[in-house]
A and B are shown apart, each in its own frame.
Chain A
Amino acid sequence: MLKKRGFLFELNKNKIMFAMLIPTVLFFLINSYFPMVGIYYAFTSYDFAGGLFGSPFVGLDNFKFLYQSGILWKLTLNTIGYNLVFIVIGNALSIAIAILISEIRGKLFKKLTQSIMFLPYFMSFVLLSVLAYNMFNFESGFVNQLLKSMGLAAVDIYNTPWLWPILITLFYIWKNLGYSMVIYLASIMGISDEYYEAAKIDGANILQRIWHITVPMLKPTFVVLLLFALGSIMKGQFDLFYQLVGNNGLLYNVTDIIDTYVYRSLKVNFDIGMATAAGLYQSLFGFVLIMTVNAIIRKINEDYALF
């Protein structure tokens, strides 16, 4: 009772601020919380006539099917595998490049190259698929032209599954390098010159200065980016995969992630129950993962924990 009065009192005192939050609250209610009710589809064999509660209840059959067909395992492996590679290689490379570019003094060169590296981040994923096409397609693609001009046989890249993990990783790095590099560069710029001057006087060479000053100073930025990345490890870069691979069934084994599977089940196969089940699995798995990671980080260093 007392608590309730407290809320009403607050509401009355700050009614303008509460009013200012109404659109945001409504937005998240509608866009994020209402659809949670639809999780029920995962336990039905959906038919369009029945709707949400009119479709026959089938319990865990959808999950059982996903599990027994081996799809779930493959999707999980692909999703987590790609994301881990993206996180490790992506961060290592952006830190390295940020350090290199911070050592460059030529202003024009620095600005120009930074802009060029940031450019792919601004491009749409549809454009990415066009670029991939004119690099890799069998007849006229640049790569095959190059192979032919060197007297080698052309490769049907869109028919060669084992190449795709490499290609997708390369495109991911190509698109995101500039963005994360700039974030790291910004934190390097924030490091006080005094540290470097002191190290110089002590006789530290450039590699020692980087290793003992720059790298440790980047740790907080790295941890924040890492946490965000781990938080969405079950959601994988849908646009990237879908635009590069599309509905090319030959490549599914190595390129299918949960998001592309769910999209296909919805748009191509109308497999509502199955698609919802896969989505729910993704959400729950991701949720448990974030909670675990956060708990571990909280134990190690409370300042770095997300919540």
Chain B
Amino acid sequence: MKDNQAGMSLSFKIISYVIISFLSLACLFPFLLMISGSLTSNESIIRDGFHLIPQVFSLEGYNMVFTFPDQLIKAYSVTIFVTVVGTVTGLFLITMAGYVLQRKDFKYRNKFSFFIYFTTLFGGGLVPWYIMITNYFNLGDTYAVLILPGLMTPFLIILMKNFIKSAVPDELFDSAKIDGANDFRIYYSIVLKLSMPGIATVGLFLALSYWNDWFLSSLFINDSSKYQLQYYLYNMINTMLFVSQMSSGTGVTLAQEIPTESTKMAMAIVVTGPIVFLYPFIQRYFVKGLTVGAVKG
């Protein structure tokens, strides 16, 4: 009986290792294909297709990307600016709301919570929102339109509220009040300090959504100098597609001069780069914050 149990555990462990290894490889595989593609000569991609190991090694894709870097640098700076301003402002507002909404002596906290939560249940939809922003607030082609809509979501406020509730004991509020601190002071000198892991998690959610956003650019931005990074990549891929289709249809050898395929892959790598470097640090906080905040619901 004992042996049977141990044997079962062992075979279960082996199966676990095999399945997890396989899945991890499957998750990594498309990235490897992209990296390899960015290092392959364009001709080779067109002739032999994408391979895991470059058939003909070449840096022409990267050369092409960095030949005219102005647009890329512009898109990078727009995204960095939007991400930093949006994340800092959003964090300030979300923590403040979360703090007030979990204060038990704030009588209207449930009413305000419902006011926020209701927006996830029912809404006007994309079109009225779009028309309001472009026609009534005239925010088209501004940086503000890239920042404002993403500042807060009900989900993040609820996450923050739960986090503060579990991280800051109620007695602290009472004793701080007796010491003469007002509600805002309690917030910035006690709550903020005790909620760092929660703030990091919510901050990362915000930063990630700003960094990866292409949708707001596509809706509201016509001026290409205000494109976010992801939308710039999106546009570039579509123009490249257009260029290669044009040239193959008309017999013009434009595609020969512009290494469309390898440039696309190189551009994707350049756009993704920073996240991959920050990723190990980000992930650790994410896991920690989710464990405390989300699991409790």
Binding site for B on A (CB under 8 A): 7, 10, 14, 16-17, 20-21, 23-25, 27-28, 31-39, 41, 51-52, 97, 100-101, 103-106, 109, 112-113, 115-120, 122-127, 129-131, 133-135, 139-142, 144-145, 148, 174, 177-178, 182-183, 186-187, 189-190, 203, 205-207, 220-221, 224, 231-232, 238-239, 243, 259, 262-263, 265-267, 272, 275-276, 278-280, 282-284, 286-287, 290, 307
Contacts and interface: CB of A to CB of B under 8 A. Distances in A.
A38 B106 contact: no
B66 interface: no
Q: How large is the interface on B (under 10, 10 to 19, 20 to 34, 35 or more residues)?
A: 35 or more
B16 A104 contact: yes
A28 B123 contact: no
B64 interface: no
A232 B96 CA distance: 26
Contacts of A35: 123-125, 128-129, 132
Please classify the interface of chain B as helix (H, G, I), strand (E, B), loop, or mixed, using the class held by over half of its residues.
helix
Nearest to A276: B127
A130 B265 contact: yes
A289 to B, nearest CB: 10
Please classify the interface of chain A as helix (H, G, I), strand (E, B), loop, or mixed, using the class held by over half of its residues.
helix
Given A97-B20, A177-B27, A307-B117, A283 B124 contact: yes
B120 to A, nearest CB: 7
The 8 closest A-B pairs by CB, nearest first: A38-B128, A279-B125, A35-B124, A145-B49, A124-B212, A32-B119, A186-B291, A140-B49
B148 to A, nearest CB: 8
Contact of A116 (B17, B24, B234, B275): B24
Interface of B: 1, 4-5, 8-9, 12-13, 15-17, 19-21, 23-24, 26-28, 30-31, 33-34, 37, 45-46, 48-51, 93, 96-97, 99-101, 103, 105-108, 112, 114-117, 119-132, 135, 148-149, 151-152, 157, 182-184, 187, 208, 211-212, 214-215, 218-219, 230-231, 233-234, 237, 261, 264-265, 268, 271-272, 275, 279-280, 282-283, 286-287, 290-291, 294-295, 297
Given A20-B100, A115-B280, A135 B30 contact: yes
27 contacts: A10-B108, A21-B112, A23-B97, A31-B149, A32-B119, A35-B128, A37-B128, A39-B128, A100-B15, A100-B16, A100-B20, A104-B17, A113-B20, A116-B28, A122-B208, A122-B275, A124-B212, A126-B237, A140-B45, A203-B1, A206-B5, A224-B297, A262-B127, A272-B131, A279-B126, A283-B122, A307-B117
